[in-house]
Amino acid sequence: MRVASFFAGIGGFDLGFQQAGHTVAFHCEIDEFCNRILARHWPGIPQVRDIKEIAHGDEVPTAEIWCGGFPCQDVSLARGGPRPGLRGHRTGLFYEFARLIGEALPPVIVLENVPGLLSSHGGSDFGIVLKTLGDLGYAVGWRMLDSRYFGVPQSRRRLYVVGYHRDPARVEQVLLEPECSSGNTQTGKLAGSPAVSPFKESVGNPLTGPVVQRIGYCLAATSGRHTGTDWSRTYVSYPDAVRRLTPTEAERLQGFPDGWTIPSGIDAEELEQLDSPRYFALGNAVSVPTARWLAERILAVGLDGTVTQTPVAQSVAAAG
């Protein structure tokens, strides 16, 4: 299916959907650095910088799937103070997204945001999101997904909302899992043994380094400078030193290929000046493996009453 990507960032949704077999057809992203990354990986794709500049939904190229991780700053618990929620000028851009959705009525929509959206204004903001989409004719479901269970060693819990226009059955097939797996449980401990947090487990050579946490904390949209907390408590240690993650390591924690956030046509001197925007963009990005999981299930469920015979589709069909 074709994908229109809003609040595209550096293309986390886009890459995940493309890896699953979909085609990226449109970008909307306001950040200049992110646009350089998008242009490198998807040259020639129609692009609009500001969602407010799109006068009507029919200006967006035809796409079966519209996705968007709309801004989270006004609902994030990381603010440490009052949260404006949907009244804020950044997270409030949800209304612009909803306006365009209502005008174009794409068959499938996928939204992403931080867990704080669930509690913003006592839950009423999330209620507004659901009611707005429901009033447009979308059957919607939501699920909290953590990147650590999709192949990257980073604990990154995000809220994903999937909507199908007047098609509730497919929402269930995408988000819920009737199939069973053998799981990946650890050997049980003796009764009364204290649990060991995965964030406290380390891997590496303690004599020579490097040593890293088995599971990293959620990457934050920071510059990566060491000012107390903006390493997100994830770091690399050696017997006589400690350092932050490199941009390449941060790319890996988000599921991007090495060098993904390096724009085209730059020299070594300019590259040294790009660490801050690279960290910031990666901290804001959608985790690629999680997006791919959703994209594969959307592809398997299909749109026209049939399903693609992939392992996911077969398990969904077998479950009835």
Active site residues: 72
- For residues 299 and 21, the answer to whether their CB atoms sit within 8 Å is yes
Please give the Cα distance from 130 to 94 (Å, whole number): 11
Q: What is the largest CA-CA distance in the chain?
A: 63
**Tokens standing for 133?**
């989409």
CA torsion sign for 177, 182, 186, 188 is positive
Distances (CA, A) of 26 to 3, 29, 295: 7, 10, 16
Contact between residue 234 and residue 216 where contact means Cβ atoms under 8 Å apart: yes
Helix axes 288-301, 311-318, angle to 10 degrees: 60
How many CB atoms sit inside 10 A of residue 66's CB? 26
Q: What's the half-sphere exposure (Cβ side, CA atoms, 13 Å) at 290?
A: 29
Dihedral (C-alpha) 250, 254, 256, 261: value to the nearest 10 degrees? Answer: -50
Nearest Cα residue to 280 out of 108, 67, 107, 31: 31
List Cβ neighbours of 159 (8 Å cut-off, separation of 6 or more). 112, 113, 114, 115, 117, 118, 142, 143, 144
Query: What is the enclosing helix (H) or strand (E) of 316?
Result: helix 311-318
- Residue 221's nearest CA partner among 79, 37, 86 is 79
